[in-house]
Amino acid sequence: MTTKFTARGITAILLPLAGLTGLAGAVQAEEWAPTRSIEFIAPANPGGGWDTLVRTTSRVIQSEGLADQNFAAINVPGGGGAVAWAQIANDSGNPHKLFATSPPIILVPLAGTSRYDHTHFTPIARLITDYSIVLVQADSDYQDLNDLFEAMRERPSMSVGGGSAPGSMDHISIAGVASAAGLEASGVNYIAFSGGGEAMTNLMGGHVEAVITGAGEAAGQLGPESDIRALGVSSPERLGGPLAEIATYQEQGIDYTFDIWRGVMGTPDMPAEAVAYYEDLFARMLETDDWQEARDQLGWIDAYQSSEEFGDFLDAQKEEFSGVLTELGLIR
């Protein structure tokens, strides 16, 4: 049996093939990779949760050879994140700028201290869950959270420091656990510093009685020879690694937990192909040995969400936090 190809038949075959070639070209044209160093911004001073996330992820990406371009960690402190967000908002469409994010991207605008919230930026990926931890000086008389809250009842002016703005993450976290322990949440004398590192410096200098911060950023500073000691952690169960000996709030009879999700966002209107590149990059990073070792040391829990999932999550968080802040009398 023979097959005869006419000119019309050959054309009929070649046209679909040309269409496929054109489609492949379009897909290839949509592929994107950074052409210069990525500015990876921590919207606070060194030593806090954003800074820890930025520097840890940048180091793992480099050590694992996941990207051809360098991720340059940059600290832009001020306003509980508001100073950095204002700068980033003015760089619309830049695919070479990212920033670390967590609940303050929602809480600070709700409290009225930033005109920019999560809706002004491009969600890239949620990466991990961290938890709050309450710290005191190593020689403090307070042995657990109940001791601390009893002292706060007797001396309402007693100060508790944190690395986020008034009405933001650390404030709402300590106000929430104090309320669960029977205190007036709005009466907690919260002192805001420009990051967890500065808050701990003030704790060690005796300028505040206690500090609430992220467990991950405190993990490396705790130990038998440390100048600070932990009274409790906001996780539902004990964490691993260097935080394994720290009792949860619930173990101390205080029915309260607080999650600190952390992730990455980009500039407004970041091109979709750049978003796809970073989504894939961070997903691959979470699978590496270097990341898993660092994550376990910091007491973090992987909680990856894609750009779309993260965006939906942020919208839901805004609704939830609006109610909580109103309840606690912290919303303006």
Domain ranges of the chain: 38-130+260-328, 131-258
Predicted confidence (pLDDT) at residue 6 exceeds the cutoff of 70? no
Torsion angle (degrees, nearest 10) of CA 151, 152, 157, 162:
110
Q: For residue 332, name the pLDDT band (cuts at 50, 70, 90).
A: low
pLDDT at 323: 77
In angstroms, the CA 326 to CA 332 distance is: 8
Q: Which fold has domain 131-258?
A: D-Maltodextrin-Binding Protein; domain 2 (3.40.190)
Predicted confidence (pLDDT) at residue 76 exceeds the cutoff of 90? yes
pLDDT at 42: 97
pLDDT in tens, 129-186: 989 999 999 999 999 999 999 999 999 999 999 988 888 889 989 999 999 999 988 8
pLDDT in tens, 175-222: 999 999 999 888 899 999 988 888 989 999 999 999 999 898 888 888
In angstroms, the CA 127 to CA 270 distance is: 19
Predicted confidence (pLDDT) at residue 14 exceeds the cutoff of 70? no
pTM: 0.78
Domain 38-130+260-328 identical in fold to domain 131-258:
yes
Contact assessment for residue 216 and residue 130, using Cβ atoms and an 8 Å cutoff: yes
Both structure tokens of 294:
């660092």
Both structure tokens of 124:
């890239």
Look over the chain and give the mean of its residue pLDDT values, rounded to a whole number: 88
Q: For residue 240, name the pLDDT band (cuts at 50, 70, 90).
A: confident
Both structure tokens of 19:
């269409």
Residue whose pair of structure tokens reads 């940059």 in the numeric block: 74
Torsion angle (degrees, nearest 10) of CA 297, 251, 262, 195:
-80
In angstroms, the CA 247 to CA 134 distance is: 11
Q: Which fold has domain 38-130+260-328?
A: D-Maltodextrin-Binding Protein; domain 2 (3.40.190)
